[in-house]
Structure 1
Amino acid sequence: MKEINKEDSNNLEEKKEEKEENLNEDKTVNVENEEKNSTQSPLPPPSYRNIETTKIVVEQADSISFEEKNNLLLESPPIIPSPFLRSPSPSPALLSSSSPFSFSSQNLSDNSSQMSFIIREKLHEFAKDLRRRTSAVREELCREPTPTDEQAEEDEDEDKDEKRRKSGERRPDQASLMSLIGLHQEVKSDEIVDVPSRLLPSNIDPFSKLYVSWLSFVLIAFLYNSFVIPLRCSYPYQTRSNLRYWLFGDYICDLIYLVDLTLIKSRLTFMRDGINVKSPPEMLHHYLTSGVFKLDLFSLLPLDILYIWTGPICAWRIFRLLKLPSFWEFFELLDSSFSNPYAIRIAKTFCYMIYIIHCNSCVYYVLSAWQGFGQIPYNYKGKWYLNKWVYNNEGNAYIRCFYFTAAVATSTGNNPAPTNVIEYIYMTFSWMMGVFVFALLLGQIRDIVSNANKNNEEFRTTMDRALSECKRLGLPEHLTARVRAWFLYTWEQQRTLEEKRLVEKLPLKLQTDLALSVHYNTLSKVKLFQDADRAFMRDLVLRLRPVIFLPGDIICRKGDVGKEMYIVNNGILEVVGGENNEIVFATLTEGSVFGEISLLAIGGNNRRTANIRSKGYSTLFVLSKEDLNDVIKDYPDAQQLLKKKARQMLRKDEKGKKGAEESKKNLIERCRVSCDLRTPRMLSAVAQLLPSKSKTVKQLLEQPEIKEEKEKKKYLKRWSTIPYEFSDASDIMEERKRRQPLSDRKEKIN
């Protein structure tokens, strides 16, 4: 056996090459034979052969290993290459042996036939499964989905994707070919790569807080370069001892520039044809083709390498100032983010002013150093003088030069006169800059301040006009004071008197969204509108309007026809009664609703049942009957639902009233004590003996004394809550007197 294996190993490579050539020549013939064999001749019965050691590793099929040792293998028909794979399997280049013995040519052919048979069967199963899936998808597309089904499917897909991401599995549409046909890949433990989570999202919204926060770092780096580069080029603040600190700050700013160029700007989303594009390739292409990319790229030119030949001259970093668009973008985002952007605009203008003075002070120091800091005398009309126009190198150089240039730019006067041509040119340029540039900046500041106070000025003008009209009409002082109080409270709460006009400038869809966010939760608390159609509620919230009531205002009076429904937004209302509304029956606070039944006028209930007064300043949302009818005509189902709920609420109120009346009657009955006394039997017997028309009988039956006492008690006990029929001590004494015999009473009278 060993001798045969040695001979086979010597001729193995030649046989492999011959077999590969034969298979390549018969590729087309085998495809036709496969179709004929699958339809005409069945597969021959398998035979069993004992193989000592077999190991086949198919690297092309995603490193799938097929190993058996001392097992029985099925001997299948000769290999038929699949037209789907387009290559015979396995090829000689993919065969390897791990045992000390080599394969024979017959064993190789049998194993190749076995693998071909398995792959062919798996392909048939894959085709059946694909047809089944196609039919299921076609049926699903034909069925019209409901919004709830779509939402459920989206949620289910998101949950499945999340589980796959956590487990590291692939989605079905991302599965490999070998996994689809049933040959799953075995991944070795040492080949598993742990992909770290991304520190940055794949796309960044240019209006998000994340991007604004990053721009703040870019702004700091830009301001550092803008102020430090002219400073180090002119003033002697860069020395050998502190050079490493300056270089450290320079390269930290360069790192920020580089991160902004490579990781941030290339991930910014953008609008195209009204659609927010979030595709990474498109975002990258949009950034690379923009002018901002060219400026960002030039701002990172590595001219610092010239330090090797020229020394650390900071002027080579002048291109870092090309990051100016990031400065503008940062302030624009802040301007649109804050509700009061005037402070941001003033800060931006102030930066311009300070930077111009800073650069001018650097030029002034260079001129002073060039002229020896005033130590070189000059001749004027035959006399020699020291130059007092330049900086004399005393005190803090930067502060003194900054003060001089600020005084020149603002034209405050009392400045030294220039002594030569260069000084005259510098002073002329500084004055021109002060006249035009600073005038422009100061005018911009004036506009910002005036716009900030524009609403306040309009409010004051409107209130003064209204108060003047009240005075012209001769209105009472207390009424004028109420007008003034309304203006002041409205301005304090809203900061505008034309809130509705401002909202009307927005699109209808945006108006609806604003109204929903403000009023929907409030309107949904009303029992009448609970469980109503959301579309109906969306149209209804647009009709709510806020109304402000002053302290003591009567919102509605008892008996008035109800045409509005009120919802308390803030403040306290009182349900009052009595002659002068001095009795407070109940208190209504935020969220309370009243007047909703009168909107539908079910059963003629359109009258107010109580007086409601505002205790302090109150803001109410009002819905009128006309607005409700205008909206509800388009929703017949909602109309029926509202009427049904209104009837239920009326029946519930009637039951409550009846229950209260019955409980009141029961309480009165329990508290009542009868004071009626039975007529004595003797008197009844006497009355029966006497004629029925006798006056004595009538007097005995009527008992006028008791009636008179009862009438007196009604007026005497008006203050008491005890029923009038309740007997007290005086009643008992009177009854005892009546029970006395007539003879005893006559004696007392005599």
Structure 2
Amino acid sequence: MRERTNHYKEKLSDTDISSAETSPTTSFVEPKPRQPPPPIKEESKEEKETEAPEPLEQDEEHYCDMLCCKFKRPSLRKRLQSLMIPHTIDAYTDPHYVFWLFLITLSFNWNCWFIPLRCVFPFQTSNNLFYWMVMDYTCDAIYLLDMFVFQPRLQFIKGGDIILDAASVIPFDLLYAVIGFQPVLRINRVLKYRTFFEFNDRLEAILDKAYIYRYIRTTGYLLFILHINACIYYWASTYEGLGTTKWVYDGSGNMYLRCYYFAVRTLITIGGLAEPQTLFEILFQLLNYFSGVFVFSSLIGQMRDVIGAATAGQSYYRASIDKTISYMNTNKIPKVVQNRVRSWYEYTWASQGMLDESVIMEEMPTKMQLAIAIDVNLSIVNNVDLFKGCDSQMIHDLLLRLKSIVYLPGDFVCKKGEIGREMYIIKQGAVQVLGGPDDQTVLVTLKAGAVFGEISLLSVGGGNRRTANVVAQGFANLFILDKKNLSEILVHYPDSKKLLMKKARYVLNFEIYRTLPEFGSSPNPNIPFVRDRTRTPMQVNGAENSVF
């Protein structure tokens, strides 16, 4: 009785344990008839109709008379949404933002070039004042739109860029009503220079050949400096008096071209100019010569850097091949070997544009390396039958471990009897598998997408040694995967490892694969896939025919 009491105490304390006694049998009870659902009220129907989501706007159908057919075009709401400026702007990847920077750069250049021109030369008159003001205030509108619409989406307020932007749009030209239409009142518009340099950076980032734009930009710097010098020379001529001396502008011909010609001859120090006579002219010419030497030498140095950056890869290639040839000549390497080395350099540079692509890949983070490897090499690896069905992430890890190597015509990729530590995937070109008694018979030709050496790499059936010679038929670009890297990858993917081992055993078990070793080819028609069935023993036949 005491044991029974303790047992029931435990049952009460632990609700998860079921009772030790048998449960009573359930008696059958007829279920009550199901009552019909209450009728839906009209009010509830109306509520559901109001709660139902609004149907999506369908695209409008438009009939084209020229094509005699109908086609759909986006609705008005969708078109307006596409024109709306987003709440945030990605300054590094959005092409629309680069185009907007281009518009601001045009406005900035308008102010930089034409404000000094109009301040000095008498190009702004009462007859054309309206057109000058239209262009000026169009540029001002672009400045304001950038400051109040685009720049707040780039968090420029916290960065302090708003100070220069606000200073560049201060309306000093309101003083036109007091002192007249003086273009010098708009000189603060040139404070928008940060946008100009930002546009240069963004444009160079998206151009394939950015050095061409750098060359054009450097030339623009030179032309602008000459433009400013021409304006200063005309101002100095009017200060001294037009035609008063031989040094100043005499007022004949096109005033701007004559002054620009003087600026070119002065800054580039060509010489042959009239000698300055007054103290003002002497000081002016001295400053011109000093600034010309400094500016011209700086621009020449910058142009040299631009050209050097454009030909940096070619210079590295020439330096590498010259260094290699010098080394071979020092060690008296035979000319046959030297010619093959030159051929390797020339083909590698012509096909890849670089000598070692791994150097560039190492400078980037792993995510970027994987993205580039997927775009370049994933289609090749996906065509390999050995890796079909494997985990996709394992394939991605595999792409980062592949090494590209170029073989010249006649080069041995691997030789018979070597210990196999690598697997090869043909990226470009073709290789030949040699066998036979003299190891000179072409057993099979493997082309792009083929794989060989996988049995030695996976160590299936003790097949660690090469069973045939493999020679490059022409220039061949191969991917190499060594055993160490594959083992490091397969540790994290056991299912893929089992699948690869199964495929390798399946290939190895074919008698045809032993005949045409481990490199895969078309089957030998003289070897049957299905062997003849062996004859059943007599005793078994007698047992089958007996009746029990």
The alignment's TM-score, normalised by the length of structure 2, stands at 0.74
Shift of 1:505: 3.1
Pick from 347, 350, 365: which aligns with 1:507? 365
1:316 and 2:185 correspond: yes
Pick from 221, 226, 242: which aligns with 2:107? 221
- The alignment partner of 2:401 has SS state of coil
1:41-87 Cα distance to aligned partner (Å, 9 max, x none): xxxxxxxxxxxxxxxxxxxxxxxxxxxxxxxxxxxxxxxxxxxxxxx
- The alignment partner of 2:104 has SS state of helix
Letter in 2 for 1:436: F
Show the counterpart of 1:472: 330
1:677-701 Cα distance to aligned partner (Å, 9 max, x none): xxxxxxxxxxxxxxxxxxxxxxxxx
Show the counterpart of 1:205: 90
Alignment partners' CA distance in 1, 2:364 and 2:310? 22
Alignment partners' CA distance in 1, 2:257 and 2:409? 60
Show the counterpart of 1:243: 129
Show the counterpart of 1:601: 459
- The alignment partner of 1:568 has SS state of strand
Alignment partners' CA distance in 2, 1:434 and 1:164? 71
Shift of 1:579: 7.8
Shift of 1:165: 9.3
Identify if the C-alpha distance between structure 1 residues 601 and 367 changes in structure 2 by more than 3 Å, giving closer, same or farther: same
1:449-494 Cα distance to aligned partner (Å, 9 max, x none): 3343333333222212222222333333222111111112222233
Pick from 342, 351, 359: which aligns with 2:211? 342
Alignment partners' CA distance in 1, 2:169 and 2:234? 29
Mapped contact 2:416–2:469 kept (Cα < 8 A): yes
Show the counterpart of 1:646: 504
- The alignment partner of 2:138 has SS state of helix
Alignment partners' CA distance in 1, 2:412 and 2:100? 56
Pick from 372, 386, 389: which aligns with 2:241? 372
Mapped contact 2:512–2:527 kept (Cα < 8 A): no
1:84-134 Cα distance to aligned partner (Å, 9 max, x none): xxxxxxxxxxxxxxxxxxxxxxxxxxxxxxxxxx9xxx9xxxxxxxxxxxx
- The alignment partner of 1:244 has SS state of helix
Alignment partners' CA distance in 1, 2:470 and 2:234? 77
Show the counterpart of 1:361: 230
Correspondence 1:531-610 to 2 at 5 A: 531-558=389-416, 560-575=418-433, 586-608=444-466, 610=468
Alignment partners' CA distance in 1, 2:340 and 2:396? 35
Shift of 1:627: 2.3
Show the counterpart of 2:269: 411
Q: How many residues align?
A: 454
1:194-230 Cα distance to aligned partner (Å, 9 max, x none): 8952522221111121111111111111111110111
Pick from 527, 531, 538: which aligns with 1:661? 527
- The alignment partner of 2:480 has SS state of strand
Show the counterpart of 2:342: 484
Correspondence 1:106-121 to 2 at 5 A: none
Letter in 1 for 2:461: G
- The alignment partner of 1:542 has SS state of helix
Show the counterpart of 1:287: 156
Alignment partners' CA distance in 2, 1:355 and 1:316? 21
Alignment partners' CA distance in 2, 1:165 and 1:394? 75
- The alignment partner of 1:373 has SS state of coil
Letter in 2 for 1:218: I
Q: More displaced, 606-615 or 461-470? A: 606-615
Letter in 1 for 2:105: L
Alignment partners' CA distance in 2, 1:506 and 1:614? 32
Identify if the C-alpha distance between structure 1 residues 594 and 244 changes in structure 2 by more than 3 Å, giving closer, same or farther: same
- The alignment partner of 1:475 has SS state of coil
Alignment partners' CA distance in 2, 1:194 and 1:512? 40
1:458 and 2:320 correspond: no
Alignment partners' CA distance in 2, 1:165 and 1:369? 74
Show the counterpart of 1:637: 495
Show the counterpart of 1:262: 148
Letter in 2 for 1:294: I
1:427 and 2:293 correspond: no
RMSD: 3.2
- The alignment partner of 1:661 has SS state of coil
Identify if the C-alpha distance between structure 1 residues 165 and 467 changes in structure 2 by more than 3 Å, giving closer, same or farther: farther
Shift of 1:296: 1.8
- The alignment partner of 2:122 has SS state of coil
Alignment partners' CA distance in 2, 1:579 and 1:368? 96
1:352 and 2:238 correspond: no
Alignment partners' CA distance in 2, 1:610 and 1:449? 51
Alignment partners' CA distance in 1, 2:475 and 2:114? 57
The gaps in structure 2 that reach 5 residues or longer are 1-43, 48-52, 59-75, 514-521, 533-548
Return the structure number with greater relative CO, CA threshold 8 A, min gap 6.
2
Correspondence 1:12-161 to 2 at 5 A: none
Show the counterpart of 2:307: 449
Shift of 1:608: 4.1
Alignment partners' CA distance in 1, 2:508 and 2:152? 65
Shift of 1:561: 4.2
Identify if the C-alpha distance between structure 1 residues 579 and 433 changes in structure 2 by more than 3 Å, giving closer, same or farther: farther
- The alignment partner of 1:612 has SS state of strand
Letter in 1 for 2:528: E
Alignment partners' CA distance in 2, 1:255 and 1:584? 76
Identify if the C-alpha distance between structure 1 residues 258 and 607 changes in structure 2 by more than 3 Å, giving closer, same or farther: same
Alignment partners' CA distance in 1, 2:170 and 2:254? 34
The alignment's TM-score, normalised by the length of structure 1, stands at 0.55
Larger Rg over CA atoms: 1
Identify if the C-alpha distance between structure 1 residues 297 and 345 changes in structure 2 by more than 3 Å, giving closer, same or farther: same
Correspondence 1:166-185 to 2 at 5 A: 166=56
Shift of 1:404: 1.0
Identify if the C-alpha distance between structure 1 residues 341 and 315 changes in structure 2 by more than 3 Å, giving closer, same or farther: same
Alignment partners' CA distance in 2, 1:425 and 1:329? 37
Identify if the C-alpha distance between structure 1 residues 627 and 289 changes in structure 2 by more than 3 Å, giving closer, same or farther: closer
Shift of 1:653: 6.6
Show the counterpart of 2:35: none
Shift of 1:264: 1.4
- The alignment partner of 2:481 has SS state of strand
Alignment partners' CA distance in 1, 2:262 and 2:438? 76
Alignment partners' CA distance in 2, 1:663 and 1:521? 32
Identify if the C-alpha distance between structure 1 residues 239 and 532 changes in structure 2 by more than 3 Å, giving closer, same or farther: same
Alignment partners' CA distance in 1, 2:77 and 2:358? 57
1:361-406 Cα distance to aligned partner (Å, 9 max, x none): 10111222333321x3xxxxxxxxxx11111222222122112112
Show the counterpart of 1:304: 173
1:543-562 Cα distance to aligned partner (Å, 9 max, x none): 21000011222323455443
Mapped contact 2:381–2:449 kept (Cα < 8 A): no
- The alignment partner of 1:619 has SS state of strand
1:513-536 Cα distance to aligned partner (Å, 9 max, x none): 443443333323322222223343
Alignment partners' CA distance in 2, 1:663 and 1:252? 82
Show the counterpart of 1:703: none
Alignment partners' CA distance in 1, 2:263 and 2:214? 24
- The alignment partner of 1:531 has SS state of coil
- The alignment partner of 1:240 has SS state of coil
Identify if the C-alpha distance between structure 1 residues 288 and 470 changes in structure 2 by more than 3 Å, giving closer, same or farther: closer
Shift of 1:330: 0.6
Shift of 1:599: 1.4
- The alignment partner of 2:242 has SS state of helix
Letter in 2 for 1:507: P
- The alignment partner of 1:301 has SS state of coil
- The alignment partner of 2:132 has SS state of helix
Shift of 1:321: 1.0
Identify if the C-alpha distance between structure 1 residues 577 and 649 changes in structure 2 by more than 3 Å, giving closer, same or farther: closer
